[in-house]
Structure formats: C-alpha cells, structure tokens
C-alpha cells in the first residue's frame, strides 16, 4: 500500500494550495480518508476527513470554511484544498487511509487509520 502526498510548498498568508494524495495497493473506494498535520513541537492533529463515498466530511474547527476535502474514487486520489492560508497552518501534512465506519472518520488520534503517506511540507509566511 502506498499513499503519495504532494502539492505542498511555501506560500504567503492568504494564498491557496491544493494537496493531493494518490493511493495504490488497496481498494480505494472501501476506505475512509483523512488529512492530518504536525507542526514543529506540536502533536499531530486531524485536519479533515471524508467517508468512503465522499458523502460526509468533517473538519477541525481551525480550518472550517477555509479547507475542503474531496476525493475522486475513479482516480484513487484524495485532495485538500486550502484557501486563506495562515502562518499557523504551517506543518507537515499527512494523508491517511482507514477501513473506518462513517461515524469514526474524524479520529483525533489516528488509530483508525492504518495507512499513512510520507507527508508534504506546507509553509505559510506572514
């Protein structure tokens, strides 16, 4: 199983980025997906999650209204559209896949997600 995250970079506050996570080695449509992030010196936190069908999404309060998670099951890919970026969004962003039921997709600890990508750095300058 491979999860390949991409799309990170260095941007200014207020800019946008779209992260992508290409998944292989599993039946993508059977897995809930999530994005987590970890900033230096801080614990990993969940940013957004989406059910297998894409019909339900959940967001951390800190990103609601700015970030959007979406998936294309035909392309085995999950996205994170990030708008109005802030310096506090600076972190390494990880995608994760898990055989989770819909009510458990927003897993703050990440225990429900068995597969993780390598991370992509997002740096937002003020």
Per-residue pLDDT tens for 7-53? 999 999 999 999 999 999 999 999 999 999 999 999 999 999 999 99
pLDDT band at 59 (very low <50, low <70, confident <90, very high): very high
Per-residue pLDDT tens for 67-117? 999 999 999 999 999 999 999 999 999 999 999 988 899 999 999 999 999
Distance CA 20, CA 18 (A): 7
In this predicted structure, what is the pLDDT of residue 114? 97
Choose among 1, 17, 6: nearest CA to 119: 6
In this predicted structure, what is the pLDDT of residue 111? 95
In this predicted structure, what is the pLDDT of residue 122? 98
Tokens 């969004």, located at residue? 89
Distance CA 67, CA 23 (A): 21
Distance CA 11, CA 69 (A): 20
Q: How many CB atoms lie within 10 A of CB 12?
A: 10
């Amino acid at each position: 199983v491979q999860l390949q995250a991409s799309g990170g970079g260095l941007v200014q506050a207020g800019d946008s980025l779209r992260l992508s996570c290409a998944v292989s080695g599993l039946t993508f449509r059977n897995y809930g997906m999530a994005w987590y992030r970890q900033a230096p010196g801080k614990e990993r936190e969940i940013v957004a999650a989406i059910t297998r069908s894409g019909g339900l999404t959940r967001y951390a309060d800190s990103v609601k209204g700015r970030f959007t998670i979406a998936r294309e099951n035909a392309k085995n890919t999950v996205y994170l559209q990030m708008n109005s970026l802030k310096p506090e969004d600076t972190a390494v962003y990880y995608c994760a896949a898990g055989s989770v039921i819909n009510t458990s997709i927003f897993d703050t600890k990440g225990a429900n997600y068995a597969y993780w990508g390598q991370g992509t750095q997002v740096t937002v300058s003020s």
